[in-house]
Amino acid sequence: MRTVVAILVSGLSRIGLWGRGVVVAVPYLWLLLFFMVPFLIVFGISFSESIIAQPPYSSLVEWLRDEDAGTSKLQILLNISNYFRLGGDDLYILAYLNSLRIAAVTTLMCLAIGYPMAYAIAKADPARRGPLMMLVILPFWTSFLIRIYAWIGILKGNGVISNLLEWVGITSGPVEILYSDWAVYIGMTYCYLPFMVLPLYSTLEKMDPSLLEAAADLGSRPLKSFLSITLPLSLPGIVAGSLLVFIPAVGEFVTPELLGGPDTLMIGRVLWNEFFANRDWPVASAVAIALLLVLVIPIMIFQHVQGKQAEAGR
Amino acid sequence: MAGQPIRKPTRLEPWQDAGQTPYVRIEKVTKTFGDFVAVDEVSLSIYRNEFFALLGGSGSGKTTLLRMLAGFEQPTEGRIYIDGVDMAGIPPYERPVNMMFQSYALFPHMTVEQNVAFGLKQDGVAKAEIRDRVAEMLGMVQLSAFGRRRPHQLSGGQRQRVALARSLVKRPKLLLLDEPLGALDKKLRERTQFELVNIQEKLGVTFIVVTHDQEEAMTMSSRIAVMNHGVIAQVGTPTEIYEYPHSRFVAEFIGSINMFDGRVVSTEGDQVLVASEEAGCELLIAHATPAPAGSPVSVAIRPEKIALSKEPVAGGGDGRNQTTGIVREIAYLGDVSIYLVQLPTGKTVRVTAPNVTRRTEMPITWEDEVTLTWRPFAGVVLTQ
Amino acid sequence: MKRRIGFLSWALLFGYAFLYVPIALLVVFSFNESRLVTVWSGFSTKWYAELLHNDALLSAAGLSFQVAAVSATLSVLLGTCAGLALTRFGRFRGRTLFGGMITAPLVMPEVITGLSLLLLFVAMEQWLGWPDGRGVTTITIAHTTFTMSYVAVVIQSRLAGMDGSLEEAAMDLGARPAKVFFVITLPLIAPALVAGWLLAFTLSLDDVVVASFVSGPGSTTLPMVIFSSVKFGISPQINALATLMVLVVATGIFIASIVMARQDRQRKRDEQMAIQNG
Ligand SMILES: Nc1ncnc2c1ncn2[C@@H]1O[C@H](COP(=O)(O)OP(=O)(O)OP(=O)(O)O)[C@@H](O)[C@H]1O
Ligand SMILES: [Mg+2]
Same domain, B237 and B306: no
Q: Which amino acid is at B332?
A: Y
C220-242: burial string, b at 16+ Cβ within 10 Å, e else: bbbbbbbbebbeeebbbbbbbbb
- B73 in any annotated domain: yes
pLDDT digits (tens, 9 = 90+) for B328-376: 999 888 888 899 999 998 899 999 988 887 766 667 888 888 999 998 8
CATH code assigned at B375: 2.40.50.140
pLDDT band, residue C2 (cuts 50/70/90) = very low
Mean pLDDT of B206-230: 90
How far is C-alpha B115 from the chain's CA centre? 30
Contacts with B157 from chain C: Cβ below 8 Å: 278
Question: What is the predicted pLDDT for the residue at C50?
Answer: 87
Neighbours of B243 (CB within 10 A): 14
| Minimum-distance CB partner of B122 among C163, C166, C174 | C174
Question: Which residues contact residue B213 at a Cβ distance below 8 angstroms, ignoring those fewer than 6 apart?
Answer: B181
Interface of C with B (CB under 8 A): 163, 165-166, 168-176, 179, 184, 187-188, 267, 270-271, 273-275, 277-278
Considering only alpha carbons, which residue of chain B is nearest residue C168?
B72
pLDDT above 80 for C84: yes
Q: What is the number of structural domains in chain B?
A: 2
Q: What residues of chain C, 119 to 158, have a C-beta less than 8 Å from chain A?
A: 119-120, 122-123, 126, 141-142, 144-145, 148, 152, 156-157
CA B324, CA B232: separation in Å to the nearest integer?
Answer: 38
Contact yes or no for B217/B211 (Cβ under 8 A): yes
Closest Cα to residue B364, out of B352, B374, B375?
Answer: B352
DSSP 8-state secondary structure symbol assigned to residue C32: B
Mean pLDDT of B32-38: 93
Expressed in angstroms and rounded, the spacing between residue C50 Cα and the centre of ligand 1 is 68
pLDDT digits (tens, 9 = 90+) for C223-269: 999 999 888 877 888 889 989 988 988 888 888 888 888 888 887 88
Q: What residues of chain C, 76 to 105, have a C-beta less than 8 Å from chain A?
A: 78-79, 81-82, 84-87, 89, 92, 94, 98-105
- B158 in any annotated domain: no
CA A47, CA A79: separation in Å to the nearest integer?
Answer: 5
Element holding B117 (H helix, E strand)? helix B112-122
CA A247, CA A294: separation in Å to the nearest integer?
Answer: 10
- Residue to probe by mutation, ligand 1, list B60, B65, B209, most atoms within 8 Å of CB: B60
pLDDT digits (tens, 9 = 90+) for B301-315: 999 999 988 877 765
CA A16, CA A295: separation in Å to the nearest integer?
Answer: 41
- B27 in any annotated domain: yes
pLDDT above 70 for B5: no
Alpha carbon nearest to ligand 1 atom 17, residue: B63
Neighbours of A295 (CB within 10 A): 23
Same domain, B373 and B231: no
pLDDT digits (tens, 9 = 90+) for C20-68: 999 998 888 888 887 776 677 888 888 898 888 888 889 999 999 999 9
Same domain, B282 and B377: yes
Task: Report the residue of C88, C91, C162, C172 to disrupt the B interface, i.e. the one with the largest count of B CBs within 10 Å.
Answer: C172
Same domain, B260 and B215: no
Q: Residues for chain A: how many in total? A: 314
Q: What residues of chain C, 164 to 183, have a C-beta less than 8 Å from chain A?
A: 176-179, 182-183
Same domain, B213 and B304: no
pTM of the predicted structure, to 2 decimals: 0.84
Question: What is the predicted pLDDT for the residue at A239?
Answer: 93
Question: What is the predicted pLDDT for the residue at A314?
Answer: 44
Same domain, B289 and B365: yes
- B9 in any annotated domain: no
Q: Is any atom of ligand 1 closer than 6 Å to the C-beta of B230?
A: no
Contact yes or no for C191/C141 (Cβ under 8 A): no
- B150 in any annotated domain: no
pLDDT digits (tens, 9 = 90+) for A50-84: 887 777 887 777 777 777 777 777 777 778 888 88
Question: What is the predicted pLDDT for the residue at C208?
Answer: 94
Same domain, B218 and B270: no
Rg (CA), chain A: 26
3-state secondary structure of B227: strand
pLDDT above 70 for B317: no
CATH code assigned at B193: 3.40.50.300
Which atom of ligand 1 lies at the shortest distance from residue B102's CA? 27
| Residue numbers in chain A where pLDDT is lower than 70 | 1-18, 310-314
| Minimum-distance CB partner of A34 among C120, C205, C238 | C120
Contact yes or no for B282/B266 (Cβ under 8 A): no
Contacts with A288 from chain C: Cβ below 8 Å: 111-112, 115-116
pLDDT band, residue B81 (cuts 50/70/90) = very high
CA C232, CA B202: separation in Å to the nearest integer?
Answer: 84
Between residues C273 and C154, the one the model is more confident about: C154
Same domain, B221 and B335: no
Question: What is the predicted pLDDT for the residue at B332?
Answer: 86
3-state secondary structure of B200: helix
Residue B75: asked if its preceding bond is cis (omega within 30°), the reply is no
Closest Cα to residue A305, out of A226, A228, A227, A246?
Answer: A246
Contacts with C277 from chain B: Cβ below 8 Å: 154-155, 158
- B154 in any annotated domain: no
Between residues A228 and C148, the one the model is more confident about: C148
- Residue to probe by mutation, ligand 1, list B39, B64, B67, B208, most atoms within 8 Å of CB: B64
Q: Do B98 and C172 touch (CB under 8 A)?
A: yes
Last residue of a domain, one of B214, B249, B284: B249
Question: What is the predicted pLDDT for the residue at A108?
Answer: 97
Q: Is any atom of ligand 1 closer than 6 Å to the C-beta of B211?
A: no
Contact yes or no for A184/A260 (Cβ under 8 A): yes
Neighbours of C66 (CB within 10 A): 14
Question: What is the predicted pLDDT for the residue at A172?
Answer: 80
| Minimum-distance CB partner of B93 among C163, C175, C187 | C175
- B361 in any annotated domain: yes
Q: Do C165 and B103 touch (CB under 8 A)?
A: yes
Contact yes or no for A13/C178 (Cβ under 8 A): yes
Same domain, B223 and B341: no
B152 has a chain C CB within 8 A of its CB:
yes
Same domain, B290 and B367: yes
Question: What is the predicted pLDDT for the residue at A54?
Answer: 76
Expressed in angstroms and rounded, the spacing between residue B162 Cα and the centre of ligand 1 is 26
Interface pTM (ipTM) of the complex?
Answer: 0.89
B66 has a chain C CB within 8 A of its CB:
no
Neighbours of A167 (CB within 10 A): 9
Q: B97 forms bridges with which residues in the sheet?
A: B174
- B162 in any annotated domain: no
Closest Cα to residue A266, out of A191, A181, A153?
Answer: A181
Question: What is the predicted pLDDT for the residue at B2?
Answer: 44
Q: Is any atom of ligand 1 closer than 6 Å to the C-beta of B59?
A: yes
State the residue range of the domain holding B222: 14-96+172-249
Residue B137 burial class via C-beta count within 10 angstroms: exposed 0-12, middle 13-18, buried 19 and up: buried
Domains along the sequence of chain A with CATH: 48-79 (no CATH), 89-313 (1.10.3720.10)
Contact yes or no for C11/A116 (Cβ under 8 A): yes
**HEC-encoded secondary structure of B231-280:** EEEEEECHHHHHHCCCCHHHHHHCCCCEEEEEEEEEEECCEEEEEECCCC
| Minimum-distance CB partner of A153 among C1, C29, C86 | C29
Element holding B53 (H helix, E strand)? strand B51-56
Task: Report the residue of B95, B101, B122, B144 to disrupt the C interface, i.e. the one with the largest count of C CBs within 10 Å.
Answer: B122
Element holding C13 (H helix, E strand)? helix C2-29
Last residue of a domain, one of B249, B278, B301: B249
Same domain, B50 and B84: yes
Question: What is the predicted pLDDT for the residue at B176?
Answer: 94
DSSP B156-193: HHHHHHHHHHHHHTT--SEEEEESTTTTS-HHHHHHHH
pLDDT above 60 for B127: yes
Considering only alpha carbons, which residue of chain C is nearest residue B166?
C173
C165-187: burial string, b at 16+ Cβ within 10 Å, e else: bbbbbbbbbbbbbbbbbbbbbee
pLDDT digits (tens, 9 = 90+) for C122-131: 999 988 888 8
Measured between alpha carbons, how far is residue A298 from residues A246, A247, A293, B364, C108 in Å?
Answer: 9, 7, 10, 74, 11
| Minimum-distance CB partner of A313 among C120, C157, C182 | C157
Domains along the sequence of chain C with CATH: 46-241 (1.10.3720.10)
Q: Rounded mean pLDDT of chain C?
A: 88
B354 has a chain C CB within 8 A of its CB:
no
Q: Rounded mean pLDDT of chain A?
A: 85
Question: What is the predicted pLDDT for the residue at B315?
Answer: 57
Between residues A307 and B9, the one the model is more confident about: A307
Same domain, B241 and B290: no
